[in-house]
A and B are shown apart, each in its own frame.
Chain A
């Protein structure tokens, strides 16, 4: 397999990323939250959100049984409401990939995403990162969520970051690669744009905002900047790249705002879990509560929904 997609240079040229109009982004981002969404649209949107969730557990306290439980939940979100979709994937640490594969079975609709490359800090040698990736894929992961080396990026070593992503992409084989930029550590929207361009050009199938491990995670403005990078790439090459905001999206209303933004920025083709995902752990339950509210007409209580 080729190390990066066609039509792209083997090196990243910083001047190829346009500067970001921060005020413009903030204003545009605020607009997405003002759409009026009616009940039927909301119901369809909520189902779509559920189907786009990467149900995630990335804790030091994860146990095999917690992962099994997560896998069960991904397929049985709330059995008393018929017709609910499964989540898009479960997202776990590499050591739990085998367990998740056994729990879900070999042909599950639910993908297994595994974080890799010394998540969440990214501080490891390239060799270690590649080994971790190969192992996760070998154990049955369909998707790899890698973190970029923010230290190298911030010290201006863009080509290191580029080469590293390209190398991990090669190690992924058939698995799709999501590149976590950890935007909360990048400092400016210009840097977010630059990192997005690097990740896209180096062959990432998805770009993802955050690890969820630091306070500043996915926000609408940051996601918008990344979506614009995807759009520019699409206009230039015709290739689609996926987007995954992660961390801090726990309310269904906010998730619907994200869908509005994706539709208005990239178009309806991206409203599919092949191209758009939410990285979240508690979002699913909030969406389920809203669905139950729409079905029954009564406001719901968290205690009637499964915890994990």
Chain B
């Protein structure tokens, strides 16, 4: 007798927990040879709202955390991914990758975590500046996280693209909600399972699956999201998002490079605000003192 395979239900990842979608909806994307990949939650606007609340709460402890500690946590994520690499390879194959490509993508993903773990405590001193000004002021600019960011993971690169989008965001002390690839969502939720067992505080990364077109307008008009990061939106989607984003002046960051292929510190800076401070000083270089 032929055994009936149990199709896994992949749940959402919100605030460090794995809830089913509040809407109760699910979809079954087709993988290689038309085989169903699993039961995937189709997130609703309430799931988005809940994850924004979780991200806002997590931000309060993530943003002021020591950069070195953030670095340790990102390194820990890499360790957890390494232990699950076989599962990721298997899922990438189910989603249509060749075995070689799948193994390469997983290895690159783990390396990407290490890469950004390294940048956690280095981008600030590398890119901050002391600015020359024409008055007796010490003038300097430093980077501060934007806040709660919604990331739209690229549609084609299920694991590396998602990590390439999310890691720079959390490296810089932001918390985020990521919308996983609609047609290739498996790795996103398996990643959530790895994150839940790493030291990353719940709510720093929240992962939603579902229909991108349905979620985009709600993201655009949500008043408590500070920025949206995406890399493969259509021109119409971009302009709609830009229009809706004016409600609370949220930043819309559309990267031109494929996040799966970019290994660079600049995506970190994309989700940073620059704070410039003027501090009055007595110039000691010119010699002499007014006192």
A interface list, Cβ under 8 A from B: 297-304
Residues of chain B within 8 A of A302, CB atoms compared: 56, 224
In the bound assembly, the distance between CA atoms of A87 and B7 in angstroms comes to 52
B residues apposed to A, CB below 8 Å: 45, 48-49, 52, 56, 218, 221-224, 247-248
The CB with the most chain B CB atoms within 10 A, among A297, A298, A300, is that of A298
* Contact status B49-A298, CB under 8 Å: no
Secondary structure of the A side of the interface? loop
Contacts of B52 in A (CB 8 A): 299
B223:A297 contact, CB within 8 angstroms: no
Q: Which residues of B contact A299 (CB under 8 A)?
A: 45, 48-49, 52, 218, 221-224
**CA of A297 to CA of B217 in the docked complex: distance in angstroms?**
11
A301 touches B221 (CB 8 A): no
Are B221 and A300 in touch, CB under 8 angstroms? no
Please indicate the chain B residues that have their CB under 8 angstroms from the CB of A298 in the complex: 221-223, 247
- Give the CA-CA distance A302 to B52 in the complex, in Å: 12
Q: Which residue of A lies closest to B48 (CB)?
A: A299
Q: Which 4 A-B pairs have the closest CB atoms?
A: A301-B224, A301-B223, A298-B221, A299-B222
Does A297 contact B221, Cβ atoms closer than 8 Å? yes
A299-B221, A300-B223 given; 20 more Cβ-contact pairs under 8 Å: A297-B221, A298-B222, A298-B223, A298-B247, A299-B45, A299-B48, A299-B49, A299-B218, A299-B222, A299-B223, A300-B224, A301-B222, A301-B223, A301-B224, A301-B248, A302-B56, A302-B224, A303-B224, A304-B223, A304-B248
Which residues from chain A contact B221 at a C-beta distance below 8 Å? 297-299
Instruction: Give 25 pairs: A residue, B residue, CB < 8 Å, sorted on A.
Output: A297-B221, A298-B221, A298-B222, A298-B223, A298-B247, A299-B45, A299-B48, A299-B49, A299-B52, A299-B218, A299-B221, A299-B222, A299-B223, A299-B224, A300-B223, A300-B224, A301-B222, A301-B223, A301-B224, A301-B248, A302-B56, A302-B224, A303-B224, A304-B223, A304-B248
> How many angstroms between the C-alpha atoms of A109 and B248 in the bound complex?
35
CB contacts (< 8 Å) of B49 on chain A: these are 299
- Shortest B12–chain A CB gap in Å is 17
Residue of A nearest to B46 (CB): A299
A303 vs B247: C-alpha distance when bound (angstroms): 14
The complex places the Cα of A299 from the Cα of B46 at a distance, in Å, of 10
Which residues in B have their C-beta under 8 angstroms from that of A303?
Answer: 224
Residue of A nearest to B222 (CB): A299
Chain B min CB distance to A255 (Å): 17
* Nearest-CB residue, chain A, relative to B49: A299
CA A304 to CA B222, docked complex, whole Å: 12
Whole-angstrom CA separation of A301 from B222 in the bound complex:
8
- A297: chain B residues at CB < 8 Å are 221
The residue among B45, B223, B224, B247 with the most chain A CB atoms within 10 A of its own CB is B223
| Interchain CA distance A301-B59 in the complex, whole Å | 14
Expressed in whole angstroms, the minimum distance between the Cβ of A181 and any Cβ of chain B is 32
How far does the Cβ of B50 sit from chain A's closest Cβ, in whole Å?
10
- Shortest C-beta distance, B259 to chain A (Å), equals 26
Chain A residues near B248 (CB, 8 Å)?
301, 304
Distance between Cα atoms of A299 and B177 in the complex (Å): 15
Which residues on the B side are within 8 Å of A301 (C-beta)? 222-224, 248
Q: How far is the CA of A304 from the CA of B247 in the complex (A)?
A: 12
In the bound complex, CA of A63 to CA of B128 (Å): 41
Measured between beta carbons, the chain A residues less than 8 angstroms from B247 are 298
Say how far A64's CB is from chain B's closest CB, in angstroms. Answer: 30
Distance between Cα atoms of A247 and B288 in the complex (Å): 63
Least distance between B148 CB and chain A CB atoms (Å): 9
Tell me, in angstroms, the Cα distance from A304 to B223 when the chains sit together. Answer: 9
